[in-house]
Amino acid sequence: MSETTMQFDAVVIGSGPGGEGAAMQLVKNGRKVALIEKHKSIGGGCTHWGTIPSKALRHSVSRLIEFNSNPLFSGENIQRGLSFADILRHAQGVIQQQVQMRSGFYQRNDVTVLHGTATFENATTIKLTQADGTVETIATKQVVVATGSRPYHPPDVDFNHQRIYDSDTVLSLNHEPRSIIIYGAGVVGSEYASIFRGLGVKVDLINTRDRLLSFLDAEMSDALSYHLRNNGVVIRHNEEYERIEGNDNGVTLYTKSGKRLDADCLLYANGRSGNIEDLNVQALGLTPNSRGQLEVSKQYQTSVPNIYAVGDIIGYPSLASAAYDQGRICATAMLFGDCEQRLISDIPTGIYTIPEISSVGKTEEELTQQKVPYEVGRAQFKHLARAQISNMAVGSLKLLFHRETKEVLGVHCFGERAAEIIHIGQAIMEQKNGGNTIEYFVNTTFNYPTMAEAYRVAALNGLNRIRS
């Protein structure tokens, strides 16, 4: 077993969005940077198992649904079908493009990319164990931990069974299920319920809570529930499993309430755990919480001064978009001792169900609880020319604004392209010195016909409520 030593100003562990943001900011400010990635390809969970593949799957299924429901093609009597394997091939193509592009970033900026498992010996020394057993010692002044997270595995569920999947392993599903149980109705569970139902698979969605995605504005949550049910998804609220049994032909789930559910396979999508085990952070005096997450300051600094952490390994908000910003802010603090920039307070939420949901700012429930005098403006997509042209009439845009100041307090959207058009509302909400008012949407001129025109329609609707 050979051993060599390398010296760097900073080491970033993990090549997902958080690690990439930190590495790029550090190297562009003259630091000698090494990036360690355990997987054979860079990009992290976001690229290989999470955001990119699931959204690529969703896109293919969404286009299939669009084709089959479009009256232009109904005369041909062709119900086009795709297998899960077919749409996975498209996803793999997207993943390869992402890996190639991101590898180019590191090469052009002279970031040393090392593949292997990183383990702390102390705060300035890391052992790198490569796939062939070779061990290298890396000396560094500063470290960013950006190792991400993985699906949570309860000890009483047999994930080695060929029909029991998590959100990572479902991407290697190689048979065509006619039915699936999805346990956990959070973002991942709801997205995969849409995908499988769109492929014609019978879906039982088990929710351990009393409504879907309870952090959303209730109207958006209700719209998703209605739409999933309308498309044939069976949603079971307030249920927990007693036991899950795999057999040769499928899976049986027994609930604590006495129900028995049978399906060809099961996707367990209830919670995530930080990838902390290999790091040996205990050697630094760091203690992760029960979910394997590290505690950090506003500058993303741990209690060990030269060790920082970003992304899923620190918990909320666990978003790829936020992780990249965290990496940049963290690197700035590492370089200059401080960083005035913070994550924006109103981080948009994008949920890629079919149709998708996106929101930014306060919900009606939060404003009511805070006793804020707000009013609502709505636009139904079915009234928009662009939605009629595109045959995408399902959905709506809702603006929440202060009755007196007209300040936009929240934007909630359900429907195709929701995650794109939310940024218009977000941009206005970020305006200071009186620039954030609902009247902007009335006084500006939107392209016609567009989905963005929903803002003008919703603003007029809301202002009419005040004037009446």
Question: Is 271 annotated as a binding-site member?
Answer: yes
Burial of 35 (0-12, 13-18, 19+ CB in 10 A): buried
127 is in an annotated binding site: no
Query: Is 312 assigned a ligand-binding role in the annotation?
Result: yes
Residue 43 assigned ligand-binding role: yes
CA–CA gap between residue 332 and residue 46 (Å, rounded)? 23
Confidence of residue 60 (pLDDT cuts 50, 70, 90): confident
Q: Token pair 């390398």 is at which residue?
A: 6
> pLDDT value at position 443?
94
Q: How many other β-carbons are positioned within 10 Å of the β-carbon of residue 291?
A: 15
Average pLDDT of the segment spanning 156-172: 95
- Count of CB atoms within 10 A of residue 215's CB? 10
Per-residue confidence (pLDDT) for residue 298, from 0 to 100: 93
pLDDT digits (tens, 9 = 90+) for 354-382: 999 999 999 999 999 999 999 999 999 99
Q: What is the reported pLDDT for 117?
A: 96
* Residue 44 assigned ligand-binding role: yes
Domain assignments of the chain as residue spans, ordered by start: 3-151+273-336, 164-270, 355-467
pLDDT of residue 434: 86
The pLDDT assigned to 29 comes to 96
Q: Sorting pLDDT into bands at 50, 70 and 90, what band is 255?
A: very high
Rounded Cα distance between 464 and 392, Å, is: 26
For 340, residues 6+ apart whose C-beta sits below 8 A from its C-beta are none
Model confidence at 384, in pLDDT bands (50, 70, 90)? very high
Residues 6 or more apart whose Cβ sits within 8 Å of residue 427: none
Q: How far apart are CA 104 and CA 107, in angstroms?
A: 5
Residue 55 marked as a ligand binder: yes
Per CATH, the number for 355-467 is 3.30.390.30
Please answer whether residues 284 and 304 qualify as being in contact, where contact means their C-beta atoms are separated by less than 8 angstroms: yes
Run of H or E including 134: none
Whether 28 has a pLDDT exceeding 80, the answer reads yes
Q: What is the pTM of this model?
A: 0.92
pLDDT (tens digit, 9 = 90+) per residue, 67-99? 777 777 665 555 566 778 788 888 888 899 999
CATH number of 3-151+273-336: 3.50.50.60
Instruction: Give me the pLDDT at residue 1, please.
Output: 39
Q: How far apart are CA 4 and CA 266, in angstroms?
A: 46
- pLDDT for 298-350, tens place per residue? 999 999 999 999 999 999 888 898 999 999 999 999 999 988 888 877 889 99
Mean of all residue pLDDT scores within the chain = 93
Same fold, 3-151+273-336 and 355-467: no
Residues 212-223: pLDDT tens digits? 999 999 999 999
Is 148 assigned to a binding site?
A: yes
Per-residue pLDDT of 422-465, as tens digits, reads: 999 999 999 988 889 999 999 999 999 999 999 999 999 999 99
41 annotated ligand-binding residue: yes
Q: How far is CA 41 from CA 49, 98, 115, 149, in A?
A: 12, 10, 8, 17
185 annotated ligand binder: yes
Task: Flag whether 147 is marked binding.
Answer: yes
Q: Is the pLDDT of residue 2 over 50?
A: no
What separation, in Å, do the N-terminal and C-terminal C-alpha atoms of the chain show? Answer: 81
Please tell me whether 187 is known to bind a ligand. yes
Task: Identify the band that residue 237 occupies on the pLDDT scale cut at 50, 70 and 90.
Answer: very high
Residue 145 pLDDT exceeds 80: yes
State how far Cα 185 lies from the chain centre.
14
Can you point out the beta strands (E) in 117-216?
A: 117-122, 125-129, 135-145, 149-151, 164-166, 179-183, 202-206
Does 203 count as an annotated binding residue? no
Q: Is 37 assigned to a binding site?
A: yes
CATH topology of domain 164-270: FAD/NAD(P)-binding domain (3.50.50)
Mean pLDDT of 398-406: 97
Whether residue 246 is annotated as binding a ligand: the answer is no
Report the alpha-carbon distance of residue 286 to residue 164 in Å, rounded: 34
- Looking at residues 177-184, what average pLDDT do you find? 97
Looking at residue 78, its pLDDT comes to: 52
DSSP sequence for 386-405: HHHHHT---EEEEEEEETTT
The pLDDT of residue 108 is above 90 = yes
